[in-house]
Structures are given as C-alpha cells and as structure tokens.
A and B are shown apart, each in its own frame.
Chain A
Amino acid sequence: SQTIHQWPATLVQPVGSPLSLECTVEGTSNPNLYWYRQAAGRGLQLLFYSVGIGQISSEVPQNLSASRPQDRQFILSSKKLLLSDSGFYLCAWSGVDTQYFGPGTRLTVL
C-alpha cells in the first residue's frame, strides 16, 4: 500500500531563516506530487506540482521553491522566510483521479 510522509510535523523559525520541508512517498512509482499551503481556517493554495524528476510547475510567485531530486521525494525550500510564510503545508501525491495527503507541517515564522 502507498504511504506518504512529511517532516517535520511542527516548525518554528525566525524571519529571514532558511526552510526545508521534505515529503516522501512509498509504494508507488512516478507519482504526481504537490505542495499546498493552508492558512488558518482557509482553503488550500497550490504552490507547486511535479509530474516527474526535475519537473516543477510553480503556481504562485513567492520566495518559496520546490525540487524533486528523486522520483518519490519532493522538497519545499526557502532561502529567507517571511512572516507571511506561516501556515500549514501539505504534500500530496495523485493516483489516477484522487490525491492522497501527508499529515502536514505546521510552520510558524516569528
């Protein structure tokens, strides 16, 4: 069966510090991968998606970037965090029709 992991679960970072969030998927090959951000009490904002290694599509211009160094690994990064980067970050992979989500990372930028 397929599983998706995200870490860390919680992160508190100062403004201007770098960020690296990791997502890995097990039990499937060549998945589509997604990074979402969810502000408190709000819907999902798609940040990046990837259909293959090294292929990244950016949905929202910002100071975040994504990379896919391996088939089942998706990384979200920032060189300098802003206060507005706080939120709940969700990674997902898609099968034929549906998306399967990881447990999320709660990021607080102070």
Chain B
Amino acid sequence: SQQGEEDPQALSIQEGENATMNCSYKTSINNLQWYRQNSGRGLVHLILIRSNEREKHSGRLRVTLDTSKKSSSLLITASRAADTASYFCATASGDAGNNRKLIWGLGTSLAVNP
C-alpha cells in the first residue's frame, strides 16, 4: 500500500531555479528516504533522514522532516537539466536498522528545462 503522497505530481522549472517537492505520510516512522528515477531506469537512493532529525543536506539537496505534521520536503537548489527525473519518498517503520519494507509514495515528476 502507498503511504506517502508527494506533491506536486508534476513540476516544470527552468535550469538554475530551485525545485521543492513535498511528501506526506500517515503513520509513525523510523526514517524517510528520497529516491530518484530516471526514465526507464531503476531507482537511486538520494538521502535518508531519521525520525529524530529535522534537516539534512547532501550537495544540492536539502531534506526537512516535520514529524508533528508527518511531512517532508526535498529541495534541489540550482537545478540542472540532468535533474529531470521522478522523485519518490519512502518511509520505513517497524524493524529499526533493518527495514524489511518501505512504503512508497507515487512520486513527483520533475522537468528541468534548459
């Protein structure tokens, strides 16, 4: 079943602009993860934020987590055409440290126009 809901479903921006995607979830979590999927390819893990963290950075990526609102956001700064992809959030609950199942959102399709 899908727990996460990303919005917007689709986002189109110009190269150099920032892109913000949001994810909401329903139950308590151990961590929340963001993945990227280029068209026709497998998913690639981007960043993980644990339930006791509020913000995390990795290069041009910034993720925030608000457990009181059960929501997360992914910010991509200074976007590039190569960032064009679908972005998925996924939450892990239950077995800490050895997730067996991730609950996936439906994804945000990002188009970065050169």
Q: Interface residues, chain A, CB within 8 Å of chain B?
A: 32, 41-44, 46, 49, 51, 59, 88, 90, 92, 94, 96-104, 106
Known: A42-B106, A96-B98, A97-B97. A90 touches B42 (CB 8 A): yes
Considering residues A32, A42, A98, A101, which has the most beta carbons from chain B within 10 angstroms of its beta carbon?
A: A98
Number of A-B contacts (CB under 8 A): 56
Q: Which residues of A contact B98 (CB under 8 A)?
A: 32, 94, 96
Contact B43 A97 (CB under 8 A): no
Closest approach, in angstroms, between the C-beta of A106 and any C-beta of chain B? 7
User: Is the pair B45, A103 in contact by a Cβ cutoff of 8 Å?
Assistant: no
A31 to nearest B CB, angstroms?
11
Tell me if B60 is interfacial: C-beta within 8 Å of chain A.
Answer: no
Residues in A neighbouring B40, C-beta threshold 8 A: 88, 104, 106
* B contact residues vs A (CB 8 Å cutoff): 2, 31, 33, 40-45, 48, 88, 90, 92, 97-102, 104-107, 109
Q: List 28 A-B contacts (CB under 8 A).
A: A32-B98, A32-B99, A42-B106, A43-B88, A43-B104, A44-B43, A46-B101, A49-B100, A49-B101, A51-B100, A59-B101, A88-B40, A90-B42, A90-B43, A92-B43, A97-B31, A98-B33, A98-B45, A98-B48, A99-B90, A99-B99, A99-B102, A101-B43, A103-B42, A104-B40, A104-B41, A104-B42, A106-B40
Name the prevailing secondary structure of the A interface residues.
strand
Chain A proximity of B13: nearest CB distance (Å): 19
* Given A32-B100, A51-B100, A104-B40, CB of A97 within 8 Å of CB of B33: yes
CB–CB A97/B92 < 8 A: yes
Evaluate contact between A43 and B45: CB separation under 8 angstroms. Answer: no
Q: How far is the CB of B12 from chain A (nearest CB, A)?
A: 15
Assuming the A-B contacts A96-B98, A97-B92, are A102 and B42 also in contact, with contact meaning beta carbons closer than 8 angstroms in the complex? yes
CB pair A101–B102 under 8 Å, yes or no, is: no
Is A44 a contact partner of B88 (Cβ separation < 8 A)?
yes
Question: A32-B100, A42-B106, A51-B100 are known contacts. Are A97 and B88 too (CB-CB below 8 A)?
Answer: no
